[in-house]
Structure 1
């Protein structure tokens, strides 16, 4: 059997392929940028074919590299899934998970039964906070929070970065005669979550008058924003992760291939006292496995 490359090199390749930059892969793997670059070079040498293109100081994957990375992602997902099927045996207890409303209703509620199947002896409760970055509830064991990652005296792990772009229903798109260019969003009502920031940033990126971002309707909950968008009341700013099912089913469409990278991300947050509990460790392990599997299917 041909020698299998090191797991660290394969994880470096998978992370680099998913994020597109060495620094993001290094951040995720808790390595230096030079260490990730070194692992990629060693892997290329060991494989015997070119997986990297070097353009000035930047590197990108070749077509062979992209194909190999996709295979590795599926293999890592299979390994992770196999481990999770056996890890649940003997794990018991109770866990309360606090999740942002959008993440809870649009993702967690669609996959939570898989956790119950993997860990049938763990009792789980899901609650939602008032603020997306709130990790103060003492009754909660693990938080899925959306913020900058600055939670002192807590164990913090970044779960996923986000990119926002306009989303709307096909019915609205038909009603307003389509959206040919960014300026055309002015033909519809803008839907906001708590403030105008996301639309202001998108207008700044696309050259649309930022003053128009102050128009429209502000909602206090992402579920309300989605409900309004689904019923054709306007155009929302959403990310492809939490809106995945609505987009795959055709309920929401992305009229522009232009997104803004958020300065905030999804994080797993737990107090030092609760982070090592059996049920919390099991939930975090399961959630990471699901994230990896979704990336493999993307």
Structure 2
């Protein structure tokens, strides 16, 4: 049998293919950028075919490299799934998970049955916090929080980085005759979550008068913004990750390519005291595996 390349090199390739940059792969795997580049060069040499293109100071994957990375991602998913199935034997107890409303309703609720299938003896409760970065509830075992990652004395792990972009119903878009220029956004009612900040940022990036950001409707909950957007009441600056299903199904469309790279991301947060709880470990492991599968299917 042909020798299998090192697991570290394969993980470096998979992470680089998913993120598109060496520094993001290095950050995810807790390695230096030079270590990631070294692993990719060694892997290319061992495989015997070109997986990398050098473009100036950057590197990118060739068509062969992209195909190989996709195969590796599926293989790593299978390994992670096997580990989860075997680890689930004998795991019991209860767990309370705190999760932002938008992430809970638009992502977690779509996949939580997979956790129940893997860990049938774990009782799980899901609650939503008042603030997206709130980790203060003492009754919670695991927090999925949206913030900058600065929670001292807690174990913090990045789940997914976030991009925001205008999203609206295709019915509304057809009704107004489409949007051909960012200034056309003034034809629509703006939908906001708690304040005008997201729209102010996007309008500035798009070169549109920021004063228009203070128009429209403010909602206190992301689910209300989502419901209003789906029903064609206006256009919202939406989280492309949690709105992924609605975009893939055609319920929502992104009328412009201009996106905001958020300074905040979704993180998995646990206290030192609860980090070793077997139900917490099981949920954390399952969440990582499920996110990896979602990245592969995106």
TM-score, normalized by the shorter chain, greater than 0.5: yes
Q: Deviations over 1:19-77 (max 9, x none)?
A: 11111111111111111111111111111111111122111111111111111111111
Q: Tell me if 1:54 matches 2:59.
A: no
Q: What is the distance in 2 between the residues matched to 1:174 and 1:22?
A: 41
Q: Deviations over 1:117-144 (max 9, x none)?
A: 0000000000000000000000000000
Alignment of 1:198-237 (within 5 A): 198-237=198-237
- Secondary structure of 1:131's aligned partner: coil
- Secondary structure of 2:201's aligned partner: helix
- Secondary structure of 1:291's aligned partner: helix
Number of residue pairs matched by the alignment: 298
Task: Give the equivalent residue in structure 2 for 1:263.
Answer: 263
For structure 1, which segment, 88-97 or 256-265, has the greater mean C-alpha deviation from structure 2 after superposition? 256-265
List structure 1 segments (4+ residues) > 4 angstroms apart after TM superposition. none
Task: Give the equivalent residue in structure 1 for 2:100.
Answer: 100
Q: What is the distance in 2 between the residues matched to 1:89 and 1:192?
A: 45
Please state how far the C-alpha of 1:210 moved relative to its aligned partner.
1.9
Task: Give the equivalent residue in structure 2 for 1:179.
Answer: 179
Task: Give the equivalent residue in structure 1 for 2:38.
Answer: 38
Q: Deviations over 1:66-104 (max 9, x none)?
A: 111111111111211222222211000000000000000
Q: What is the distance in 1 between the residues matched to 2:43 and 2:195?
A: 46
Q: What is the distance in 2 between the residues matched to 1:196 and 1:49?
A: 51
Show structure 1 runs of 5+ residues with no match: none
Q: What is the distance in 2 between the residues matched to 1:226 and 1:3?
A: 50
Task: Give the equivalent residue in structure 2 for 1:286.
Answer: 286
For structure 1, which segment, 117-126 or 38-47, has the greater mean C-alpha deviation from structure 2 after superposition? 38-47
For structure 1, which segment, 123-132 or 161-170, has the greater mean C-alpha deviation from structure 2 after superposition? 161-170
Task: Give the equivalent residue in structure 2 for 1:197.
Answer: 197
Q: What is the distance in 2 between the residues matched to 1:275 and 1:17?
A: 30
Q: What is the distance in 1 between the residues matched to 2:238 and 2:198?
A: 9
Task: Give the equivalent residue in structure 2 for 1:119.
Answer: 119
Q: What is the distance in 1 between the residues matched to 2:250 and 2:276?
A: 41
Q: TM-score, normalised by structure 1?
A: 0.97
Q: What is the distance in 1 between the residues matched to 2:87 and 2:285?
A: 9
Q: What is the distance in 1 between the residues matched to 2:249 and 2:65?
A: 31
For structure 1, which segment, 133-142 or 214-223, has the greater mean C-alpha deviation from structure 2 after superposition? 214-223
- Secondary structure of 1:218's aligned partner: strand
For structure 1, which segment, 274-283 or 66-75, has the greater mean C-alpha deviation from structure 2 after superposition? 66-75
Task: Give the equivalent residue in structure 1 for 2:152.
Answer: 152
- Secondary structure of 2:160's aligned partner: strand
Task: Give the equivalent residue in structure 2 for 1:164.
Answer: 164
Show structure 2 runs of 5+ residues with no match: none
For structure 1, which segment, 127-136 or 31-40, has the greater mean C-alpha deviation from structure 2 after superposition? 31-40
Please state how far the C-alpha of 1:239 moved relative to its aligned partner.
2.3
Q: Tell me if 1:7 matches 2:25.
A: no
- Secondary structure of 1:95's aligned partner: strand
Task: Give the equivalent residue in structure 2 for 1:296.
Answer: 296
Q: Tell me if 1:18 matches 2:34.
A: no
Please state how far the C-alpha of 1:236 moved relative to its aligned partner.
0.9
Q: What is the distance in 2 between the residues matched to 1:148 and 1:172?
A: 34
* RMSD value, Cα: 1.0
Q: TM-score, normalised by structure 2?
A: 0.97
Please state how far the C-alpha of 1:4 moved relative to its aligned partner.
0.9
